[in-house]
Amino acid sequence: MAQKKFWQDSGGNRPPGSVPHGLMGPGGRKTRAEHARPVPGDGKEIFVELQDATKQYVMGETTVNALAGVSISVHKGDFMVIVGPSGSGKSTLMHIMGTLDHPTSGKVFFDGSDISVLDDWHLAMLRRNKIGFIFQNFNLIPTLSALENVLAPTEPLTGNKERLEERAIELLRKVGLGNRLLHKPDELSGGQRQRVSIARALINDPEIIFADEPTGNLDSMTGRQVIELMHRLNKVDGKTFVLVTHDQSLLDYATRKVFLLDGSITRIENQGAKGGGEHELSV
């Protein structure tokens, strides 16, 4: 059985892009963001949009302003690299963009839907069908083989088991691990573990992949191989990527460069196809 799409899971045969029941704004007005249309100038559709998003953590008497009002759009096909020093809010921003967390104030639109009106089940379906995540420490299950780890996000199984296994093997081959299918994480090198986690992020064929310090635990050569693999997935397969990192060298790969400091975006640069940087915003 073909895997259900997010909009099918909420009942009925809605066309992609329509808003499921319960996702309508006041008075029945669609909450689908009006900005989910081609953007004048570059023709690319906005995929994720944050409007003045803040995040505060209250710790007893102290309040940490992890995000201080961030507005940013990820376009389909982007390879966005967000850089900033430790504590600048990169992981917080990535979690909010990836619907793993909600902002304290401000709006998040994901593929045109205002995520604040989605319940936990719809958010889980959205993540499962549309988003892949890659983390610095790989987050692999130590008792499972590489193949089983790649298959883990497909549980509980809704599709054809054999077909999914074939796909997992194909993905592991694609990341250069066709000969390591049965190895457990502690029988793999750091770079190989990260490549397993990339294959795992791709198993549900997501449209967008969020990566938090994907090269942070790797030596520079292995890190470069991993980033080049992600870059190929962007260029060849058209996957949208959002990477957060403190490693400025990853900016070389970016179509959009975002600079974060103390919870605020200080600069965004769009990289032209011929490598020329267009200055978009400077605060």
Nearer to ligand ATP, 30 or 102 (CB): 102
CA neighbor of 88 nearest in space, from 108, 70, 62, 112: 70
Cβ–Cβ under 8 Å, residues 83 and 259: yes
Q: Which does 86 bind (CB under 5 to 8 A by kind): ligand ATP, Mg ion, none?
A: ligand ATP
Among 5, 161, 173, 246, binds ligand ATP (CB under 6 A): 246
How many other CB atoms are there within 10 angstroms of residue 281's CB atom? 14
87 binds ligand ATP (CB under 6 A): yes
CA neighbor of 17 nearest in space, from 51, 49, 47: 47
- Quick check: bond before 26 cis, omega within 30? no
Cβ burial of 98 (10 Å; 0-12, 13-18, 19+) is buried
Give the binding range for ligand ATP (CB under 6 A) out of 90-98, 198-206, 223-231, 249-257: 90-98
Nearer to Mg ion, 46 or 243 (CB): 243
From the CB of 90, what's the least distance to ligand ATP, in Å?
4
2 binds ligand ATP (CB under 6 A): no
91 binds Mg ion (CB under 5 A): yes
Nearer to Mg ion, 8 or 139 (CB): 139
Nearer to ligand ATP, 50 or 150 (CB): 50
217 binds Mg ion (CB under 5 A): no
Nearer to ligand ATP, 39 or 100 (CB): 100
CA neighbor of 35 nearest in space, from 85, 139, 107: 107
How many other CB atoms are there within 10 angstroms of residue 266's CB atom? 14
Residues ≥6 apart with Cβ < 8 Å to 222? 189, 190, 191, 194, 215
Give the binding range for ligand ATP (CB under 6 A) out of 79-87, 118-126, 231-239, 273-281: 79-87
Q: Which does 57 bind (CB under 5 to 8 A by kind): Mg ion, ligand ATP, none?
A: ligand ATP
25 binds ligand ATP (CB under 6 A): no
Determine the Cα–Cα distance for residues 242 and 19; give it in Å rounded to an integer. 25
Cβ burial of 236 (10 Å; 0-12, 13-18, 19+) is exposed
Binding site for ligand ATP (CB under 6 A): 57, 59, 64, 66, 84, 86-92, 246
- Would you tell me which residues interact with Mg ion (CB under 5 A)? 90-91
